[in-house]
Amino acid sequence: MKIVKLEDVVGTEQEVNGGNWTSRRLLLAKDGMGYSVHDTIIKAGTETHIWYQNHLEAVYCIEGKGEVVTLKDNKVHPITAGTLYALDEHDEHLLRGITDMRMVCVFNPPITGKEVHDENGVYPLVNE
């Protein structure tokens, strides 16, 4: 069994500041679960271009308000506490924080913890 407390991740290399967001990476590839889990804060007033070509992601909003815009159809999806969205087709999208949002994110395959978005909004596949 693994027990991970957010307070043990904050301030370590597993807390990554991406400018528009801060990802506290609770479970990573090294934990051997087959997915990674992140507690992520999206900052109010930001817009982030994301396109996970190498990963599938499910995102559950537990606080705040924002929206996801899928770029293939320019559809705007409101996001509020209690909303989950799943990027099951490697959907290229914009994530907008209207207020600060707190999100629980699950990635498959799991990330190593070293990834940051490249110029296309992609997390590269990183082997440890």
Neighbours of 10 (CB within 10 A): 12
**Residue extents of the structural domains in the chain:** 19-108
Cβ-contact 58, 71 below 8 angstroms: no
AA letter at 60: Y
pTM for this prediction: 0.89
Q: Dump pLDDT digits (tens) for 74-113.
A: 999 999 999 999 999 999 999 999 999 999 999 999 988 7
CATH superfamily entry for domain 19-108 = Jelly Rolls (2.60.120.10)
End-to-end, the C-alpha distance of the chain in Å comes to 22
Cβ-contact 36, 106 below 8 angstroms: yes
Q: Dump pLDDT digits (tens) for 28-55.
A: 999 999 999 999 999 999 999 999 888 8
Cβ-contact 104, 56 below 8 angstroms: no
